[in-house]
Amino acid sequence: MLGIPGLSEDQEKAIQHIASGATFVMVAIQPTDTGADFFTALDGEAEDLRNAYPHLDGVIARLFDRRGLS
């Protein structure tokens, strides 16, 4: 546990992975009156990111499915 009040379990897990040095791709979504603003970030070895790229759509789709959001 990070001990930061108000973080969800998923938020804590994400921060722990990033802090451990894991390669990451992040999308944060801020709802707006007209839709949403997106903040994106990525970090890691270029080869690791390139290898992961073709799989990202499927990873996100499975996450939405698991949460019943698709």
d(CA 51, CA 54): 7
Place of tokens 């979504």: 29
Summarised one tens digit per residue, pLDDT across range 3-16 is 788 999 999 999 99
Tokens coding 51: 């290898």
Summarised one tens digit per residue, pLDDT across range 19-39 is 999 999 999 999 999 999 999
Q: What's the whole-model pTM score?
A: 0.78
